[in-house]
Amino acid sequence: MKNTISILIITLLFFSSCKNKSKENNELTTNTEIKTEKKDIKKRELEITPIEHATMVLTYENTVIYTDPVGGAEAFKEQKKPTIVLITDIHGDHLNAETLEALDLSKATVVMPKAVADKLPELNFLESVILDNGKTTTVNGISIEAIPMYNLREEALKFHSKGRGNGYVITLGEERIYISGDTEDIPEMRALKNIDKAFVCMNLPYTMPVESAASAVLDFTPKQVYPYHFRGTEGLSDVALFKTMVNNSNKNIEVVQLNWY
């Protein structure tokens, strides 16, 4: 009888040990999966590098986007070579032929409005796409939509006429990113939907005051808004006031200030 009880106890202890080991292995596997998933998510994060004023570099996985590259090759010496170049307008703070000629664009697709294409010199780029307002193209699996950009105020109509330049909405992974270009608070901006990150200009006399920029942002409610292109003839616009105006009305919109100047 004693032998039978001993055998039962040993058997129970054996199965209990196996069950605990199985649980530990399952927990280890689950933790490994979680860590791997977090690592993959980190790899897919968008990196934003402000260069100056309207010029920036967006890096997402193997996609490197130069937006309005100006400042010469020196401004991009620490950046990866571009796979996409977005140009919004013909003005010198957006289109600079010397910079484009100095950069290695051999693997880049240049997306631009026709007005820009008409002013470009011969460049050694992989491909070019002329995009009109309201049109969409796909480059290397990245959706790029051209959004109108133009002035509304009577005294500013001479700066940016409707149809000449492009703002852009680009889709990187799960995020929709809006780049306003030189514009005012136009209906097309106010009507934007599902924007995750918005780069919005605000400089006088060329684009719009901070009050108009804040009003438009409160209409299309991006998750994050990045004031950029905010140097005008009288110095820098009051981006602190812009942040206050936005967050006093909607605290869910994150205003992110980067070092543009």
Examine residue 232 and state whether it is found in any structural domain, yes or no: yes
pLDDT at residue 123, rounded to an integer:
87
pLDDT of 186 over the 60 cut = yes
What percent of the chain is predicted at pLDDT more than 70? 83
Domain that holds residue 215: 45-255
Mean pLDDT score, 216-229: 98
Mean pLDDT score, 215-222: 98
pLDDT of 208 over the 80 cut = yes
Mean pLDDT score, 25-43: 44
Examine residue 35 and state whether it is found in any structural domain, yes or no: no
Examine residue 223 and state whether it is found in any structural domain, yes or no: yes
CB atoms within 10 A of CB 238: 16
235-244 long-range Cβ contacts below 8 angstroms, 24+ apart: 236/261, 237/202, 237/203, 237/204, 237/209, 237/210, 238/210, 239/202, 239/210, 241/210, 242/202, 242/210, 242/213, 242/214
pLDDT of 65 over the 50 cut = yes
Examine residue 20 and state whether it is found in any structural domain, yes or no: no
Mean pLDDT score, 208-219: 98
Examine residue 101 and state whether it is found in any structural domain, yes or no: yes
pLDDT of 194 over the 90 cut = yes
CATH code for the domain in which residue 230 is found: 3.60.15.10
Whole-number Å distance between alpha carbons of 123 and 86:
15
pLDDT of 21 over the 50 cut = no
DSSP string, 176-221: EEEE--S--S-HHHHT--S-SEEEE---TTTS--HHHHHHHHHHH-
Examine residue 183 and state whether it is found in any structural domain, yes or no: yes
Number of domains in the chain: 1
pTM: 0.83
